[in-house]
């Protein structure tokens, strides 16, 4: 739906007259159409905010060990989350630097673009967390075991990034792992706090790399 709306004449005419920052924000705003469709799946279901993880959650809840993680005893998310921010930030930056070949001279626009970077990242993170995790996890509760539900939502999130950022096969892998981590954080903290926060910061990084890679 969002791509179709983006091709609509009035929207294209409006986008042609605005600068890059608000144009990217508008493109993410169109994706909210998906949220409206997701809301129709609530018909006949008695989902509450707790079912949808629509709360910050217990930010220091224990993160449970998994075979693919580096710890073998539970550690608090207040320790695990910052570690992930560093790992994801370095990995994503390296991937985007290699794939987008940004012009570092454009860093002079950092302050000018900051409001649009924060607004776009917050909107996109909230939208994707709701569509790819909050709603699916609520529907999959009592249908699949938690571990399978986490991976199912993560795989769909990863596949959706083939043409996004990060993109391609490596992008799918990166987004799948991130999606699994964020879904795991929601289940274990009973809230979206860590997932939204990590997602938003990653999207800020992506925003600036895209800005620096634009041909002027």
**Would you state the structure tokens that stand for residue 18, as one six-digit string?**
């605005």
Phi-psi region of 101 (alpha: psi -120 to 50; beta: other; left: phi over 0): left
Instruction: Kindly report the pTM of this predicted structure.
Output: 0.88
Q: Percent of the chain having pLDDT more than 70? A: 91
Contacts of 83 (CB under 8 A, 6+ apart): none
Average pLDDT, the chain: 89
Per-residue pLDDT, 172? 96
At 9, is the pLDDT very low, low, confident or very high (cuts 50, 70, 90)?
A: low
> Measuring CA to CA, which residue among 109, 85, 80, 93 is closest to residue 200?
85
The domain limits of the chain are 48-213
137-187 tens-digit pLDDT = 999 988 999 999 999 999 999 999 988 888 899 999 999 999 999 999 999
**Would you state the structure tokens that stand for residue 73, as one six-digit string?**
């005893």
């Amino acid at each position: 739906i969002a791509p179709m709306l983006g091709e609509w004449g009035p929207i294209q005419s409006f986008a042609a007259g605005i600068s890059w920052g608000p144009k990217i924000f508008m493109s993410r705003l169109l994706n909210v159409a998906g949220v409206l469709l997701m809301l129709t799946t609530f018909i006949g279901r008695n989902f509450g905010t707790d079912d949808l993880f629509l709360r910050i959650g217990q930010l220091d809840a224990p993160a449970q060990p998994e075979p693919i993680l580096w710890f073998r005893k539970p550690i608090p998310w207040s320790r695990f989350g910052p570690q992930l921010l560093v790992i994801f930030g370095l990995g994503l930056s390296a991937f985007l630097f290699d794939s987008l070949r940004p012009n570092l001279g454009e860093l002079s626009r950092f302050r000018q673009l900051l409001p649009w970077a924060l607004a776009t990242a917050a909107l996109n993170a909230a939208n994707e967390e709701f569509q790819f995790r909050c709603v699916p996890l609520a529907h999959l509760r009592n249908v699949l075991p938690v571990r399978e539900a986490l991976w199912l939502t993560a795989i769909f999130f990863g596949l959706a990034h083939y043409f996004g950022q990060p993109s391609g096969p490596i992008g799918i892998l990166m987004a799948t792992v991130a999606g699994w981590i964020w879904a795991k954080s929601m289940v274990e903290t009973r809230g979206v706090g860590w997932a939204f926060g990590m997602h938003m910061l990653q999207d800020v990084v992506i925003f600036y790399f895209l800005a620096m890679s634009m041909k002027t």
